[in-house]
Structure 1
Amino acid sequence: MFDDRTDAGERLAAELERRGLDADVVLGIPRGALPVARPVADALGAALDVVVARKMGAPQNPELAIGAVASDGSVWYNDDMIDRMRISEDYLEDVRAEEAENARQKADRYRETEGLPDLQGKRVVVVDDGVATGATATACLRQVQDTGAERVTLAVPVGSPRSVDDLEREADEVIAVETPADFRAVGQYYRNFGQVTDDEAVQYLDSGP
Structure 2
Amino acid sequence: MFQDRRDAGRQLVGQLGHYRNQPDVVVLALPRGGVPVAYEVAEALHAPLDVLIVRKIGMPGHEEFAIGAIASGGTRVMNTQVVEGYRVPEAAIEAIAEKEKRELERRERSYRNGRPPLALQGKTVLLVDDGLATGASMRAAVQAIRQFEPAKIVVAVPLASPDTCEEFRTGVDEVVCAVTPVPFYAVGQGYVDFSQTTDEEVHRLLRRAVGQKGAGT
RMSD, aligned CA = 1.7
Structure 1 length-normalised TM: 0.91
1:12 is matched with 12
**Pairwise CA distance, 1:173:** 1.1
Residues 1:102 and 1:170: Cα distance change in structure 2 (over 3 Å) = farther
Task: For structure 1, list consecutive stretches of 5 or more residues without a partner in the other structure.
Answer: none
**Pairwise CA distance, 1:115:** 6.7
| Cα distance in structure 1, aligned partners of 2:11 and 2:115 | 32
Report Cα offsets for 1:96-148 as digits up to 9, x if no partner: 34323321221221103477422111111010011111111111111112111
2:27 is matched with 26
**Pairwise CA distance, 1:199:** 0.4
Percent of residue pairs bearing the same amino acid type:
39
Q: Secondary structure at the match of 1:207?
A: helix
Asked whether the equivalents of residues 108 and 114 of structure 1 are also in contact (C-alpha less than 8 Å), the reply is no
1:69 is matched with 70
Structure 2 length-normalised TM: 0.88
Residues 1:115 and 1:168: Cα distance change in structure 2 (over 3 Å) = farther
Report Cα offsets for 1:60-85 as digits up to 9, x if no partner: 33333211111222111111110112
Moved more, 71-80 or 194-203: 71-80
Residues 1:190 and 1:114: Cα distance change in structure 2 (over 3 Å) = same
Q: Secondary structure at the match of 1:193?
A: coil
**Pairwise CA distance, 1:42:** 1.0
1:176 is matched with 177
| Cα distance in structure 2, aligned partners of 1:61 and 1:130 | 20
Asked whether the equivalents of residues 9 and 157 of structure 1 are also in contact (C-alpha less than 8 Å), the reply is yes
Aligned residues: 207
| Cα distance in structure 2, aligned partners of 1:100 and 1:13 | 32
Residues 1:198 and 1:74: Cα distance change in structure 2 (over 3 Å) = same
**Pairwise CA distance, 1:37:** 0.7
1:203 is matched with 204
2:215 is matched with none
| Cα distance in structure 1, aligned partners of 2:115 and 2:6 | 28
2:167 is matched with 166
**Pairwise CA distance, 1:92:** 3.1
| Cα distance in structure 2, aligned partners of 1:94 and 1:4 | 34
Q: Which amino acid letter does the alignment assign opposite residue 3 of structure 1?
A: Q
| Cα distance in structure 2, aligned partners of 1:186 and 1:200 | 20
Moved more, 198-207 or 104-113: 104-113
Residues 1:63 and 1:80: Cα distance change in structure 2 (over 3 Å) = same
| Cα distance in structure 2, aligned partners of 1:143 and 1:2 | 29
Moved more, 24-33 or 112-121: 112-121
Q: Which amino acid letter does the alignment assign opposite residue 32 of structure 2?
A: R
Q: Which amino acid letter does the alignment assign opposite residue 76 of structure 1?
A: V
Report Cα offsets for 1:128-179 as digits up to 9, x if no partner: 0111111111111111121111111010001001111222233211101111
Residues 1:105 and 1:115: Cα distance change in structure 2 (over 3 Å) = farther
1:119 is matched with 120
| Cα distance in structure 1, aligned partners of 2:7 and 2:167 | 26
Q: Which amino acid letter does the alignment assign opposite residue 206 of structure 2?
A: L
**Pairwise CA distance, 1:40:** 0.5
Moved more, 64-73 or 3-12: 64-73
Asked whether the equivalents of residues 72 and 100 of structure 1 are also in contact (C-alpha less than 8 Å), the reply is no
1:101 is matched with 102
Task: For structure 2, list consecutive stretches of 5 or more residues without a partner in the other structure.
Answer: 213-217
Q: Which amino acid letter does the alignment assign opposite residue 185 of structure 2?
A: R
